[in-house]
Structure formats: C-alpha cells, structure tokens
Amino acid sequence: MDTAEIDTSNAGGKRRPGAPGSGTALNLPCEFQFNCYGLSFRALARDRSDDAVIEFWADAGPLPYTAENSEARRRLQVLLRALRREYPGRVEVGPNQRLILAGEASASSPLTALGVFQGATRYLLGTRELIALLRRQF
C-alpha cells in the first residue's frame, strides 16, 4: 500500500475494549483512504451483527464513450461481463461512465488497526489480477 490514513476520531461510534494484545479497538464506523496498485480506494469499517466488515470502493477509470473509442469500449464491456461472473466483488459503471470497483472483507470484532490492515490486505490480494487486467485496457 502506498499510503493509509485511518480516522479514529468518530465520537458517535461504539468503542469496545480490544482483546488482550490485539491493540485498541477502533471507534466504528471508521472511514479511511489509501492508494494501492495505482488506484485510490475509499473504505468504511463498520459493525455487523456478529463481526465487523470493511467495505471498499475505487474508481478504476473511464469506460470510453463510443464516439471516443468504440473498440476500447467494446473490449471493456466484454471484460466487465466476464468479471461479473468471476469477481467476488462488484464492478459497476458509475456516474460519468466511470468504472467503480466495490467489495468487502469481513474482520473479527472488536476491530483494531491491525484487523483493518489484515482485511484490506485480503481484499487487495483478491483484486490484484483484476486491477492489473483493467489497467492494461487503458
């Protein structure tokens, strides 16, 4: 990861004691941003009923308009159809024809900074080939 910044100042979040030796539990929900594989990711860590989850989003670049490059648009659309069947997260076309990667990783509760790092690492390792494939298309 290139950079990471974790905001633990959420006064409205729940604070729970961490397990011995695991570090301090984060206030949840907790938002953070980081750069990896040339993309800027946003993330939100929050509680679920029996554990915690970290949700990720990244702008993977534009889906070219047909008038700009019809061949590149067609190739990316074929790739997106295949990814929707294979990729564990979601690849969506967002506002202004931007490709958005979205996914999540579960984490043990109470969530610590180490748990966030481990969850983010699991997610990123699972998306590495997808991101490389998308980057080759641009």
Residue spans of the domains in the chain: they are: 25-137
Residue type, 7: D
Q: CATH for 25-137, among 3.30.1460, 3.90.228, 3.30.70, 2.60.120?
A: 3.30.1460
Question: What SS3 class is residue 92?
Answer: strand
pTM: predicted TM-score of the whole model, two decimal places: 0.72
Q: pLDDT for 76-135, tens place per residue?
A: 888 777 777 767 678 888 888 888 989 999 888 888 888 888 988 988 888 888 888 777
Give the separation between CA 20 and CA 26, rounded to whole angstroms. Answer: 14
Q: Which amino acid is at 8?
A: T
- Taking only the tens place, the pLDDT of each residue in 20-41 is 445 788 888 999 999 988 899 9
Secondary element (H or E) of residue 54: strand 52-62
